[in-house]
Chains A and B, each alone.
Chain A
Amino acid sequence: MSYLDDLLRTQKLDDTSEEWKELDAEAEKIERIIRAAYPDSVLMFTHGGSRAKRTMIREDYDLDEVLYFRNGDTAAGETLEEIYEAVAKLLAKHYTVRRKRSALRLSMKDGRDLKVDVVPGRYVDDTQTDVFIHQNEGDKARLKTNIVSHVAHVRDSGCTDVIMLTKLWRTRDDIPIKTFPLELLVIVVLSANNQGSLEDRFRRVLTAFRDDIDDLRIEDPANPTGNDLSFALTARIRDTLAKVAGDTLAAADAHGWEHVFGKLEAKDSIPRVQIMRSAAASAAVQTRPWGPKS
C-alpha cells in the first residue's frame, strides 16, 4: 500500500462513522419537519451529493438532502422560487438558513454549522426522473437536473478514489472550485485512461490540470446541452487549478507525497488543548495580538 492509499483510508467516511451517524440523525429530523408541514404531499427526500456518490472525505464533508415535490404539487408554492422560499421559511423556525445558489444551508441557532444543505425542487413530469430546481444566481431562474443521473455518473465512474483524493487536495490548497465540477473534471481526465495505481491516476489528473486545463470541457450529465456549467469553471478557477497542480507535482517530485499532505492522522492520546498549549509554548518569539481602537 502506498502513502496515498493510506491517506485515503484515513479520510474515508462510512455507515459506521460517527460523523455519518450525526448527519443521518439531523437529516431525519429535517425530514420530519418538512413532512409534517406538507402532510398531503408525496415527497421524495433522499441523500444527494458525496454521501450518495460515496466520495465523502472526513476533512471536508456535508450532506446534501434533496427534497422533491411531485409534478403539479403546489402545496409549497406555485413556482420553484415559492417552493424554495416556503421551505426556507419553514426550516428557519428551527435553524438558521443561508440561501445558496439552489440549496439552503442549515446552521443551529447558536451558529454551529450542521453541514447540511437542503435542495428543494419539483419533478418535471410524472416519470419522476428529471426535476426543476430554483436558482438564485445565473442566467436561468430554474435548472433542469437529475440527481439520480448525477449520482450514477460519479459513483459508477470507477474514479471515486481519485475523486476523494482530489477533493482533499482541493480542500488543503483552498482551491475555489465546487465539488461537482471538480468531480466531472476528474472523470473527463481519466475517461481516456483510468489504469494504474491511485498515485498514477492522481498524477494524471494533476498533470492534465497543469498542462491542459483550458482544453478540458465539462458538461452536466443530467442535461448536457441545456445546463451551462461555465460559471463553475471560470478562467480564474482554471488558472488556480493549473498553478496549484503544478506546484503540487513539483513538491511531490522533490519531496514525496507525505511532504505534500503531511503525516497520516493518528489517534492522539493527548488532549487537543494540551497539544495547542505545547505548540504555543514552543514559539520562538512570543507575539501578542493587538487591535485598533474600538
Chain B
Amino acid sequence: MTAPWFERAPQLYTELETMLRNRYPSLHAFVENGKVHVRGTFPLDEGGRTFDRYRIDIVLADVHPAQPPRVWETGGRIPRTPDRHVFVDGALCLGTPLALWIGLEGDFSLPRFLDEPVRNFLIGNSLVEQGEAWPHGERAHGAAGMIEHLAELFGTQQPVMLATFLQAVAAGSVSKHSHCPCASSRKILKCHLAGFKALRRIPPEVLDQTARMILTEFAPERLAA
C-alpha cells in the first residue's frame, strides 16, 4: 500500500503549514486517521476587510493536490439539505466534478481551491441567507446539472450524445478533426474547440464517471449494453 502524500513528501506538508500561516492564519493542518484535515475559520474578505467567516473542515485527497479536497461547514450554519447544495454526508457540493476540473485546470492546491470554489460557495451561501440568489447561478442536481454545464461547452443538451462524446474523449478516440457533438456537421476544429480542449485536460476516469452518471439517469439501457 502506498504511503499517503504527506508521509512520502513531508516537505510538502511543511510547505502546507507555512502557506496556511502566511495566507490563512486561522486555518490549521492536522493529521488524523491517515488524512490531512485543514480546520479553523475561513474569512470572506472584500476590500481588505472581513465581512463574514465560516467554520470549515477540509479533508485533503490521498493524492493531494491531484484530486479535489472535500469541505464541510462545521458551524451548523448551512442546513444539510440538497437545496442548500450539501451532500448527505454534509460535504459541500461546490460544483459538478467536471466543472471543478475545468475551472481549476486540474490544480487542486489549497490556495486555489479555497480562493475560488470554496470562497464562491460561502459568499453565495451568505447571500442566500440574506434572501438573495446564488450570485453565479446554481446547477440542477444530479446529471441534469452536468448536462447544463456541458451544454454551455458544446451547445447541445442531448444526454446520450454528450455521454458518448465524453467516453470517446476519455478513450482518446476523438480528435479536433472529428465531428462536433453539437450535431452541426462541422468538425470540432471549426465548432466547439474550446470545450474539446478543456475536456482533453481532464483525467479519463473523471470523464467516464460523468458519462456514466448521465447515462444512469437518462439512458440506463445504454449503460447496461
A residues contacting B by CB (< 8 A) are 171-174, 240, 243-244, 247-248, 250-251, 254-255, 259-260, 262-263, 265-266, 268, 272-273, 275-294
* B22 pairs with A254, CB closer than 8 A: yes
Rounded to whole Å, the gap between the CB of B35 and the closest CB of chain A is 15
* B138 pairs with A289, CB closer than 8 A: yes
Q: Which residues of A contact B134 (CB under 8 A)?
A: 288-289
The one of B50, B74, B116, B143 that contacts A262, using a Cβ cutoff of 8 Å = B50
Q: Does B190 contact A (CB under 8 A)?
A: no
Q: Which residues of A contact B28 (CB under 8 A)?
A: 173, 243-244, 247
Q: Does B220 contact A (CB under 8 A)?
A: no
- Docked complex: B75-131 residues within 8 A CB-CB of A: 75, 82-83, 85-88, 92-96, 99-100, 103-104, 115-117, 119-121, 123-124, 126-127, 130
* B135 pairs with A280, CB closer than 8 A: yes
Expressed in whole angstroms, the Cα–Cα distance for A282 and B85 within the complex equals: 22
- Docked complex: B149-194 residues within 8 A CB-CB of A: none
The one of A171, A247, A280, A293 that contacts B123, using a Cβ cutoff of 8 Å = A280
* B95 pairs with A290, CB closer than 8 A: yes
Q: Which residues of B contact A173 (CB under 8 A)?
A: 26, 28, 40-41
Which 9 pairs across A and B sit closest by C-beta, in order of nearness?
A293-B142, A280-B135, A289-B85, A279-B46, A286-B136, A291-B141, A290-B139, A251-B25, A251-B21
Expressed in whole angstroms, the Cα–Cα distance for A263 and B49 within the complex equals: 6
B residues contacting A by CB (< 8 A) are 17, 20-22, 25-26, 28, 30, 39-41, 43-53, 55, 74-75, 82-83, 85-88, 92-96, 99-100, 103-104, 115-117, 119-121, 123-124, 126-127, 130, 132, 134-139, 141-143, 145-146, 217
* A273 pairs with B130, CB closer than 8 A: yes
Expressed in whole angstroms, the Cα–Cα distance for A115 and B224 within the complex equals: 55
Q: Which residues of A contact B88 (CB under 8 A)?
A: 292
Rounded to whole Å, the gap between the CB of B36 and the closest CB of chain A is 13
* B22 pairs with A289, CB closer than 8 A: no
Some 20 contacts from A to B, beta carbons below 8 A apart, are: A173-B28, A244-B28, A247-B20, A254-B22, A263-B49, A266-B49, A276-B51, A279-B46, A283-B119, A285-B104, A286-B120, A287-B100, A288-B99, A288-B138, A289-B93, A290-B85, A291-B141, A293-B141, A294-B141, A294-B142
* A243 pairs with B138, CB closer than 8 A: no
Q: Which residues of B contact A290 (CB under 8 A)?
A: 85, 93-96, 99, 138-139, 141, 145-146
Rounded to whole Å, the gap between the CB of B194 and the closest CB of chain A is 15
* A260 pairs with B141, CB closer than 8 A: no
Expressed in whole angstroms, the Cα–Cα distance for A276 and B52 within the complex equals: 9
Residue in A173, A263, A282 with the greatest tally of chain B CB atoms within 10 Å: A173
The one of B25, B139, B146 that contacts A289, using a Cβ cutoff of 8 Å = B139
Rounded to whole Å, the gap between the CB of A127 and the closest CB of chain B is 41
Rounded to whole Å, the gap between the CB of B158 and the closest CB of chain A is 19
In the complex, residue of chain B having the shortest beta-carbon distance to the beta carbon of A260: B25
The one of A260, A268, A277, A284 that contacts B116, using a Cβ cutoff of 8 Å = A284
Further pairs besides A172-B40, A285-B104, A291-B141: 6, Cβ < 8 Å: A247-B21, A251-B21, A279-B51, A289-B121, A289-B139, A294-B141
Q: Which residues of B contact A283 (CB under 8 A)?
A: 116, 119-120, 123, 135-136
* B127 pairs with A291, CB closer than 8 A: no
Q: Which residues of A contact B137 (CB under 8 A)?
A: 288
* B44 pairs with A293, CB closer than 8 A: no
Rounded to whole Å, the gap between the CB of B141 and the closest CB of chain A is 4
* B30 pairs with A243, CB closer than 8 A: yes
Expressed in whole angstroms, the Cα–Cα distance for A283 and B74 within the complex equals: 24
* A291 pairs with B25, CB closer than 8 A: no
Expressed in whole angstroms, the Cα–Cα distance for A113 and B171 within the complex equals: 53
* B82 pairs with A291, CB closer than 8 A: yes
Given contacts A263-B48, A280-B135, A288-B137, contact A250 B21 (CB under 8 A): yes
Q: Which residues of B contact A285 (CB under 8 A)?
A: 103-104, 116-117, 120
Q: Which residues of A contact B127 (CB under 8 A)?
A: 273, 276-277, 280
Q: Which residues of B contact A286 (CB under 8 A)?
A: 120, 136
Q: Which residues of A contact B143 (CB under 8 A)?
A: 293
Rounded to whole Å, the gap between the CB of A242 and the closest CB of chain B is 11
Expressed in whole angstroms, the Cα–Cα distance for A294 and B143 within the complex equals: 11
The one of B43, B82, B94, B130 that contacts A287, using a Cβ cutoff of 8 Å = B94
Expressed in whole angstroms, the Cα–Cα distance for A282 and B135 within the complex equals: 11
Expressed in whole angstroms, the Cα–Cα distance for A284 and B136 within the complex equals: 12
In the complex, residue of chain B having the shortest beta-carbon distance to the beta carbon of A279: B46
* A287 pairs with B74, CB closer than 8 A: no
* B130 pairs with A288, CB closer than 8 A: no
